[in-house]
Structure 1
């Protein structure tokens, strides 16, 4: 195995998972992988909730779908992330960041020519994009056999202090360990981000998971086994491009970009 092979094979799964429960053995392997991440003074401030209960998964799915629909319809999602939308391979090759939206239903394709126009949001609404994305998001979450909530222990997680930064750094590395391990288990994983952007939706997820005062809910992910043929949602994108070394690495100081060769 080459030094980069595990990192290069890391993927985000945008599509559906197999209708098959994640084995208890694999769940525990993922948790063991998370536990091997480094943390400040080996504090291990992370906590996880493995969510298999169908009713809870469906409630979280409803929140994921409704929050996606609301974010798109109100323009918040569009305004925040528009700088990262790419609609051509040429643009993606030049910028090498963001998402290449390469799967769109026919009626939505003209939207790509008006992405930067003042009337773009009105067009999105008229074409029913918020509802389509919201329903697709709900189905993806509800059809995921396992959801994973990541939390931090407030004993260590103190925002505004170094311990808060260290805790987030450690949790990030623990999540990356989980992500890399899913590849080896034939699984996929995706961040369920939209409820985080709607405060009342996030509070509802805390209630569903009965999060106690001493813990802080930080993120939710959906997981499952990846089908051999990977069907794509009606609106989908790719994000496999990465910046060139010269675009993000410097030599000796921030004034000297590293050479690509």
Structure 2
């Protein structure tokens, strides 16, 4: 597959994976792709745990589902990420960032713009939406054939110092290499983020993975092979839009936005 085609096809997988185990050679390719990423002075601060043990996956899934339910019931999720939610194609086209919530239960659709209010939160709780979403989340994680934990070496990762920034920068490059490799391998990947929102739940995962003091658990991802067609979750979104050049690129100084037609002039002769 051509490199830029891989970039264009990169996606977050919100739906289920095939039950097939991830082939050992593909697991190796993923972590080897990560190792090819740049890092400050070639420090390679990243560490990875490949998790196939079913009991561990199911327990992490249970923690993730519990976290989702709690975040939804308390309204924390909506309040924390309010700036990123879009509720119409027009708004998404204008902003070209965030996520467009285009899939939700019929009972909620008339109230989707009120989900940030106390009344909206109360309605969702009465309808059992947090419980439904928590169970959806649990099933997605539990049905994943592979989890990938990403850690940083604390000898390099020192928050508040430049080394902390360099370590996170390198980790991001390593994870992006993995993400792009999944496209080539016919796989999908999704960030298991909800346990991170609740510190005590994140510590439970650290204990499950037996993370030593010298390492910091930074993220957990679910991976697997992507089926041809999937049923969308109860509440789902799409985020394929990207900002126009004039919204994020400048020329020479930050006072001069780039033209959106950069490179268009001269095409065709």
Q: Shorter-normalised TM-score: what interval?
A: over 0.9
SS at structure 1 position matched to 2:149: strand
Query: What is the root-mean-square deviation of aligned Cα atoms in Å?
Result: 1.2
Pair 1:53–1:2, CA change in 2 (3 A):
closer
TM-score computed with the length of structure 1 as normaliser: 0.97
Structure 1 spans left out of the alignment, 5+ residues:
none
Q: Establish whether residue 190 from structure 1 lines up as the match of residue 168 from structure 2.
A: no
Structure 2 spans left out of the alignment, 5+ residues:
262-269
In the TM superposition, 1:48-59 aligns within 5 A as: 48-59=48-59
Q: Using the alignment, how far apart are the partners of 1:174 and 1:136 within structure 2?
A: 29
Q: Using the alignment, how far apart are the partners of 2:177 and 2:109 within structure 1?
A: 38
Deviations 1:103-130 (A, max 9, x none): 1121121222424544221122122111
TM-score computed with the length of structure 2 as normaliser: 0.94
Q: Which residue of 2 aligns with 1:179?
A: 179
Q: Which residue of 2 aligns with 1:72?
A: 72
Q: Establish whether residue 123 from structure 1 lines up as the match of residue 123 from structure 2.
A: yes
Deviations 1:124-144 (A, max 9, x none): 212211111111000000000
TM-fit CA distance, 1:13: 0.2
In the TM superposition, 1:82-161 aligns within 5 A as: 82-161=82-161
Q: Which residue of 2 aligns with 1:13?
A: 13
TM-fit CA distance, 1:33: 0.3
More displaced stretch, 74-83 vs 37-46: 74-83
Q: Establish whether residue 212 from structure 1 lines up as the match of residue 208 from structure 2.
A: no
Q: Using the alignment, how far apart are the partners of 1:191 and 1:3 within structure 2?
A: 23
SS at structure 2 position matched to 1:100: strand
**Structure 1 residue runs of 4+, over 4 Å off?**
none
Q: Using the alignment, how far apart are the partners of 1:144 and 1:33 within structure 2?
A: 21
Count residues with an aligned counterpart: 261
SS at structure 2 position matched to 1:119: helix
Q: Using the alignment, how far apart are the partners of 1:149 and 1:205 within structure 2?
A: 10
Q: Which residue of 2 aligns with 1:35?
A: 35
Deviations 1:123-176 (A, max 9, x none): 221221111111100000000000000000011111111111000000000000
